[in-house]
Homo-oligomer: A and B are copies of this chain.
Amino acid sequence: MSKLVIVGTVAFDAIETPFGKTDKILGGAATFIGLSASQFNVDSAIVSVVGNDFPQDYLDLLSNKNIDISGIEIVKDGKTFFWSGRYHYDMNTRDTLATELNVLADFNPVVPEAYKNADVVMLGNLHPLVQLSVLEQMDDSPKLTILDTMNFWMDNALEDLHKVIAKVDVLTINDEEARQLTDEYSLVVAARKIYDMGPKFVVIKKGEHGALLFHENEIFSAPALPLENVYDPTGAGDTFAGGFAGYLASTKDFSFNNMKTAIIYGSALASFCVEAFGTEQLQNVSEQALSLRLKQFRDLTTFNIELSE
């Protein structure tokens, strides 16, 4: 079975949307990535840090999904990273109400010995030097490395960010961030500029508008599933990345063609994520429900056109 190493936050979130409000609930990039990847036949481990205020129940939830949590450091007398945000009516923009780094401030990631030969490394959104440290701990060169990041690091640690971008195979960012990183309006040109920075594959996440995958001169466009109810977009991008990484790790095929399928899996899992607060729905996705949703993606995108080849 393929091994997948995931680095990212394991955290408390408190979320307000036009449709409701939560207390402190389970959140964090690595949490969403791990739960999403756990849908696939893959041996995954999370590398992260929490405080001793972090409930055993939450750790058990991850373990019960067969995620190795030996790489989650528990800091005695430390407090878990906490993020709180309020989404606007359009659900695409949000205000951060609180960010308490807590134990994350001094986080030194340690990849468990048994996972240093992992096939796939998924670097969830975190300080680029933390992501870089994880890469440097890997024994062999992993078959696939995927980096997720955001504009915050472009604004505050661009030089470090470029160091890690230079070392990965796939970069996943949103459209606005791709434009910021490259100073190009056209995403086609932006992707080409990103190839020059290192990654051979660029995934551009567009939320409710889907995702684009760029590789050499090829482009794939995946829609997002139009949904009746979107309760909470938190973690959707991480869930997408987790599905993408998990599918690729489980199939051990890192071709452009298989990445297209991986994008659809990631999109399908993200569609579950947003239909409830936090990880509530993502925890309980049956194989049958996932299969039904994949069929919806196929129906959504299929058209007939007669072309003279």
Contact = CB atoms under 8 A, between A and B. Distances in A.
B230 A226 contact: no
A303 B244 CA distance: 14
A157 interface: no
B188 A226 contact: yes
A205 to B, nearest CB: 12
A96 interface: no
Nearest to A224: B221
Interface size, A (range): 35 or more
Given A226-B187, A227-B188, A228-B188, A220 B300 contact: yes
Nearest to A300: B221
A253 to B, nearest CB: 11
A114 interface: no
Nearest to A257: B304
Given A186-B228, A206-B209, A210-B221, A291 B303 contact: no
Contacts of A90: 185
Contact of A307 (B91, B186, B226, B298): B298
Contact of A186 (B229, B299, B304, B305): B229
A2 interface: no
A305 B264 contact: yes
Interface string A282-309: 0000000001001101111111110110
Contacts of A294: 305, 307
Given A188-B226, A222-B303, 8 more contacts: A187-B226, A188-B228, A219-B300, A260-B302, A260-B304, A291-B307, A294-B305, A298-B305
Interface of A: 18, 89-91, 185-189, 206, 209-210, 212, 218-223, 226-230, 257, 260-261, 263-264, 291, 294-295, 297-305, 307-308
